[in-house]
Every structure is written in structure tokens, then in C-alpha cells.
Amino acid sequence: MMSRPVLIAAVLALGAAGVGPAVASPAKAKPKPLKGTWSFTDTTPDPSGNAEGTEALHCNGKLPAGPADVNAHAFKVKGTGVFTAIGHVTGDWAIQLQDAKGNVITGDDVNPPASESLAGITLKKGAYSLVLCNLEGAPTATADYTFKYR
């Protein structure tokens, strides 16, 4: 039979060694996915963007945006995930994804124009802009977007 001081010492030793009831820390919940629709206005069609070497750069035309134009929508993500955007356009438009410094991450220009889209683009925490530009189409367009955290 153990004496009381030995029993207390044994319990303290087990506690110090980390043996005891495990307390699970709660898993950090992922942020809610982002989704919605953005509207774009580009009253200054710029077919010069078609001359750029790759489809990803077709929004880098020579004409400046008009004062009423809304060519880009900025957004921030809190962690790594997958971004998808589907443009709904009439006529020839192009789509582009840029980082916070305006560097082109990727882009697309579907010919013949049906809809411009970017799918399955992995992004890390940070700020980005989705650009939809009018090459030779109607002055307005929309884009549905989603961002799902991993």
C-alpha cells in the first residue's frame, strides 16, 4: 500500500509528464466561401488588346478607360482557396485576374466570344482584382464569381 506522500508525488509526476485527460483544441473554422455577381461597364471598346501576344494579356489594350467605366472589381481572400469567374458578355470581351500590384496572374479571351471564364485558379491570402474588358462588344457585362477556401 502506498503512503499518501508517495501517491501525491506519483499523481504530480503523471500530470507533469502530460499524462491525463486530453483536451482537444477546436479546429479553426474555414471562412465562408465568397460568391456573387459583379457588373462591369466598358463604354470604350479597345480591339487593340487583341494584338497582345497571349490571351491572358488581351485586357492590356492601348485606349484608356472612360470616366464611366468600371473594368475591375477588387477583392481580398483570408487564406488559400480556389477562384472561379464566369463572364456573361455580348460581343468580344476578355477577362483577367491581377494581383494587388496589377501583375497579371492569368486571363482568357474566348473566340468566338461566348463567355469569358477563369476556373480553378488557386489563390493565396491576399488582394486581387478581376478585370473584364470590352474589346468589341456591348458596353456592359456581368461576372459570377466564387472563392472556396481549402
User: Cβ atoms within 10 A of the Cβ of 69, count?
Assistant: 16
Predicted confidence at residue 52, as pLDDT, reads 84
For the whole prediction, is pTM greater than 0.85? no
Q: How confident is the model at residue 133 (pLDDT cuts 50, 70, 90)?
A: very high
41-91: pLDDT as tens digits: 999 999 999 888 888 999 999 998 889 999 999 999 999 999 999 999 999
| Residue pointed to by grid coordinates 476556373 | 119
Q: Which class for 34: exposed (0-12), middle (13-18), buried (19 or more C-beta within 10 A)? A: middle
Q: How far apart (Å, rounded) are the C-alpha atoms in residues 128 and 105? A: 9
Tens digits of per-residue pLDDT, 5-55? 544 555 455 455 555 455 566 678 889 999 999 999 999 999 999 888 888
How does DSSP classify residue 2?
-
Whole-angstrom Cα Rg for the chain: 26
Neighbours of 77 (CB within 10 A): 17
Domains and CATH numbers, the chain: 27-149 (2.60.120.380)
Q: What is the mean pLDDT of residues 93-102?
A: 97
Cα–Cα distance for residue pair 108/111, rounded to 1 Å = 10
How far, in Å, are 38, 54, 63 from residue 44 at the CA level? 19, 21, 8
The reported pLDDT for the residue numbered 110 is 85
39-66 burial string, b = 16+ CB within 10 Å, else e? ebbbebbbeebeebeebbbbbbbeeebe
Beta-bridge mates of residue 81:
123, 149
